[in-house]
A and B are shown apart, each in its own frame.
Chain A
């Protein structure tokens, strides 16, 4: 039943470009990239039990690596792959020492990593474009439909891989080490190795989607891919949709972006309303939108 609903949703989404305007497609394209960010974050938080306050550190690395390579004349697809690898590398450098720390301390290191990246980008403005941003000369496609399908494919493929990983034995071990690291270790699982692997996977997908997104936006700037506010939005999307479900965070991200767009006529108040709704969901349905539905069905 649940699978059927999901399948129908995806089917509708896949054929959407034939029915709606380019404007709607544009909004959804961005929302799908956010969906990838939120799902990658969920793998780390929902399963490995580590709060990553700096998803934008990984996204920013991917986005800027791809953008800078593009400015030096490398082809687009090479840049996207290189961006994903750059995020993977940065993620490993950050995670290997940081995962020795627990709870709020790990979160703090990831938060500081974002602040440092932001400062570095601003200081080396000559190379990175600083506060104004880096202009990207190439685009994925000029056709909004193709852009939409690319983003849609990125989200479904990443989602399927992440979901599969979370249901695999590795996902179970991750979940165990998130909930009770001592017992997981006692059972003979290498907790640190699994957590680092989870972080690496999360980094790879974040960097990949970040790199794709800059080629859609035509610019990489601190405000769109690095700022803490972006990271906060990703975390809210994941908790809103339902942590530990992978599918939920993607739905949460789409909901958040679309709601912000619909509420745009409210002007400044739109962010207020979105935050208030998210807060209400957290207070009253702490399992998130998708999590709530699944639990009710299960019970």
Chain B
């Protein structure tokens, strides 16, 4: 009985983790950027969805859609205002770009967090779920919203897979990940590819942010935790490997849920942290990473 409960609850959480982390992983794979304002973008999308749906009275459908659009816009803003200037700067040595991008996006994330706290306070808000009601899965009472969340995430990830593997633009993206110089020699403009990947990333992160807020709620205080969890999932799975991130999201999601149910919710994050340390020591390229 508890086993079944873990299976069902863990699935929804893990799927959300996966969607949140995949965009993060995609950006690293294609442009080598670890975006530490990731959590900020997720929370902005969620808060926008809540504000449009509730106080502005647009209803939950328009609200959620608006939240995703605003989240994606902020992802593009992150690229245009922080990441691109650092990558293009002549004053920053090549081999230090990484640490500057990390510090810059971290500062940007803090700015987003503080701005949200200032305009919308830091008290948690919950986005109204798109679907209400409860469904019985083999005796486990599950909110319909959890199932909807899992389905939406999988549809989004499926579309991403189709896009990357079946369309011309998607293949360009993959090529940029494998050999950016080769791609430029073929006459493609890398700037456009980066713009595309940041848009995709923004949409994925924003969907994950809005959906997460429908059943766990969100607040500006979550920014750091969300970034950290995406970061650890991506490293556990292997930097740049999308299937690795997927696997790692389920490992961490189920590990956390099982600990919360079987041991105590207080220790929820401990086993996954220990696993992370172990994997980083023994297999630094992550579960499915190639190096």
Contacts and interface: CB of A to CB of B under 8 A. Distances in A.
Interface of A: 45, 51, 97-98, 101, 103-105, 107-109, 111-113, 115-116, 119, 122-123, 179, 228-229, 232, 235-236, 239, 268-269, 271-272, 275-276, 278-279, 282-283, 285-287
Interface string B236-270: 00010000000000000000000000000011011
Contact of B108 (A113, A271, A279): A279
A110 B267 CA distance: 20
Contact of B284 (A101, A115, A239, A286): A101
Contacts of A239: 99-100, 103
A57 B100 CA distance: 22
- List the 5 closest pairs (A to B, CB-CB), nearest first: A272-B114, A279-B107, A286-B92, A275-B110, A275-B107
A108 B238 CA distance: 13
A105 B235 contact: yes
B127 interface: no
B50 interface: no
A229 B224 contact: yes
A282 B96 CA distance: 12
B114 A275 contact: yes
Contact of A119 (B82, B98, B107, B269): B269
B228 interface: yes
Contacts of A279: 82, 104, 107-108, 111
A256 to B, nearest CB: 12
A275 B92 CA distance: 19
A109 B277 contact: yes
16 contacts: A104-B239, A105-B235, A105-B280, A108-B232, A111-B231, A115-B273, A116-B273, A116-B274, A119-B270, A235-B106, A268-B114, A268-B118, A271-B114, A276-B107, A283-B85, A287-B91
A112 B228 CA distance: 9
A271 B106 CA distance: 13
Contact of B267 (A45, A113, A123, A282): A123
Contacts of B91: 285-287
Contacts of B85: 283
A275 B117 CA distance: 14
A57 B182 CA distance: 43
Interface of B: 34, 82, 85-86, 89, 91-92, 95, 98-100, 102-104, 106-108, 110-111, 114-115, 117-118, 224, 228, 231-232, 235, 239, 266-267, 269-270, 273-274, 276-277, 280-281, 284
Nearest to A295: B91
Given A123-B267, A276-B111, A235 B284 contact: no
A101 B86 CA distance: 25
Contact of B281 (A51, A97, A271): A97
Given A279-B108, A282-B107, A104 B269 contact: no
Given A283-B86, A283-B89, A228 B224 contact: yes
A293 B125 CA distance: 46
Contacts of A278: 107
Contact of A282 (B100, B231, B232): B100
A286 B100 contact: yes
Given A112-B277, A115-B269, A282-B103, 4 more contacts: A105-B284, A112-B276, A239-B100, A279-B111
Contact of B104 (A108, A228, A283): A283
Given A119-B273, A123-B267, A287-B91, A103 B280 contact: no
A268 to B, nearest CB: 5
Contact of A232 (B82, B110, B270): B110
A113 to B, nearest CB: 8
Contacts of A104: 34, 98, 235, 239
Question: Which of B100, B106, B224 has the most A CB atoms < 10 Å from its CB?
Answer: B106
A255 B102 CA distance: 21
A101 B279 CA distance: 12
